[in-house]
Amino acid sequence: MTQAPTDRPPSGCASLGTSRDRHEASGSESQRVALIVLDQFSMIAFTSTIEPVRIANRVLGRDFYDWKTYSVDGEPVTSSNGCTLSVDGSIADLNDADITLICSGVDVERVVLPKELGTQLRKLNARGRTYGAVCTGAYVLARYNLLAGRRCTIHWENIRSFREEFPDIDVSADLFAIDRNCITCAGGMAALDMMLRVIAIQHGAYLAHEVAEVALYQNMRSGESAQRHDLESRTGISNVKILDAIRIMDLHIEDPLSCQQLAMTVNLSPRQLERLFRRHFDCTPGQYYLKLRLETARDLLRRTNRAVLDVAIACGFASTSHFTKCYRERYSCTPTEERQSYFWAPAPRKPPVRATVTQLATS
């Protein structure tokens, strides 16, 4: 059973403004929260970050949290769902804030990151302010070298490519991570869990519970909770041998095992393992394994700028020619064509605006 946020903050969270005394909180100064939204940001992550502090103000009966939104140039920003957000200013207007969060979303690798944004974030960090990211924003912090020596998290779709591009950064598959004055979450509803934890650190678990109740959110999750459903739920298969085989495949993408080795690890004969895979997936274990490796390769081609040969080796292919042959058979294009059509292509035009999201402070 997942534990709810407790009154005691985790190690290294003093910079979040832990309640000096619980009874003193009612008279303390407000917390300034700055959200920097980037093109194609995740709307669910954005609203899940703001709504908990809005509700906290309502429950407290005063404006303890004050938030503003910023874009790179002060212009409205389009989210991944096509809605446009009007912001309060540009990053040049962000002089100070107690908590500053980067909110990004899909295709974060293709977003042009100005030098000024990194400069502002470093200034805030130097002042001891809390900074961080929601959804894929950890990628932005990594690009600015603001995650060195910090533990962080990012959306599970980006974890493998993130590790390939930033091998020295400690990234986890947790819902959210709090490391001293750096806070990150995986996006989606994880932003709600992270902000509830921040509220619990600053005001106590009682307020976090009240906020969760108002939001009709019953199960507050700890940061260490897994992002994804278990493999059985994702595949709809309960056969332990198959599930173990798939887990082992995923652990050995770079150094793939033979069918015989795979069968031995799950205590089956190669023939028995093949029968199980044909029954449940209508393919051989080798074909399923190849599919996993090619999916990983496609993700790396789209999200990183690593050379095609490096991607091939990272996915267990001994040569570029073999990798290209297998890739073309599955995706009807070569790895190079995939890279040129996706990662290096000009950023897509913003979709037609379907709605305008005004500043949520007026809600």
Q: Do both 219 and 309 map to the same domain?
A: no
- Pairing relation of β-strands 170-172 and 84-85? unpaired
Could you tell me the residue range of the domain that residue 297 belongs to?
231-341
Residue 134 lies in a domain: yes
| Contacts for 99 with CB less than 8 Å, ≥ 6 apart | 16, 31, 32, 33, 34, 129, 130, 131, 132, 183, 198
Shared domain for 29 and 40, answered yes or no, is yes
Residues 87 and 136 in one domain: yes
Query: Would residue 353 count as lying in a domain?
Result: no
Share of the chain above pLDDT 70, in %: 87
The residues pairing with 172 across neighbouring beta strands, listed in sequence order, are 153
pLDDT at 191: 96
10-24, 160-174, 286-300: least confidently modelled range:
10-24
Task: Say if 320 falls within a structural domain.
Answer: yes
Total structural domains in the chain?
2
Q: Are residues 245 and 117 in the same domain?
A: no
Summarised one tens digit per residue, pLDDT across range 15-37 is 565 544 433 444 457 899 999 99
> In terms of domains, do 134 and 252 share one?
no
Task: Name the 3-class secondary structure at 49.
Answer: helix
Per residue in 86-103, pLDDT (tens digit) is: 999 999 999 899 999 999
Of 170, 200, 228, the position where a domain reaches its end is 228
Q: Does one domain contain both 134 and 220?
A: yes
Q: Which of 7, 223, 13 is nearest to 128 (CA)?
A: 13
Question: 305-358: per-residue pLDDT in tens?
Answer: 889 999 999 999 999 999 999 999 999 999 999 988 875 444 444 443 444 443
230/155: higher pLDDT: 155
Strand partners, 35: 69, 101
- Written as six digits, the tokens of 294 are 């090619």
Taking only the tens place, the pLDDT of each residue in 49-66 is: 999 999 999 999 999 999
Do 80 and 239 form a contact (C-beta atoms < 8 A)? no
Per the CB < 8 A criterion, the answer to whether 167 and 304 are in contact is: no
Q: Does residue 110 sit in the same domain as residue 205?
A: yes
Range in 27-31, 105-109, 277-281 with the lowest mean pLDDT: 27-31
Strands 65-71 and 89-90: parallel
Q: What is the pLDDT of residue 235?
A: 85
Using the predicted structure, report yes or no on whether residue 166 has a pLDDT greater than 90. yes
The pLDDT of residue 15? 58
In a domain, 147, yes or no: yes
Residue 22 CA to chain centroid, in angstroms?
32
Whether residues 313 and 217 fall in one domain: no
Tell me: do 215 and 254 sit in the same domain.
Answer: no
CATH number for position 39: 3.40.50.880
3 pLDDT higher than 70 = no
Q: What is the pLDDT of residue 339?
A: 87
Query: Which residues have CB under 8 Å from 91's CB, separation 6+?
Result: 36, 70, 71, 72, 114, 116, 117, 120
For residue 5, being part of any structural domain is answered with no
**DSSP letter, residue 105:** B
**Using one digit for the tens of pLDDT, what is the confidence trace for 251-274?**
999 999 999 999 999 999 999 999
> Would the pLDDT of 9 be above 70?
no
- pLDDT at 356 (0 to 100): 42
pLDDT of residue 343: 52
- Kind plus residue range of the DSSP H or E element containing 185: strand 182-185
pLDDT for 38 equals 96
Q: Is 54 helix (H, G, I), strand (E, B) or coil?
A: helix
When comparing pLDDT for 227 and 3, which is higher? 227
Say if residue 65 is in the same domain as residue 147. Answer: yes
Same domain (yes/no): 213, 236 = no
What residue type is 84 in one-letter code? Answer: T
Is the residue at 359 inside a domain?
no
CATH code of 279's domain: 1.10.10.60
Q: Are residues 60 and 175 in the same domain?
A: yes
Instruction: Confirm whether 19 is domain-assigned.
Output: yes
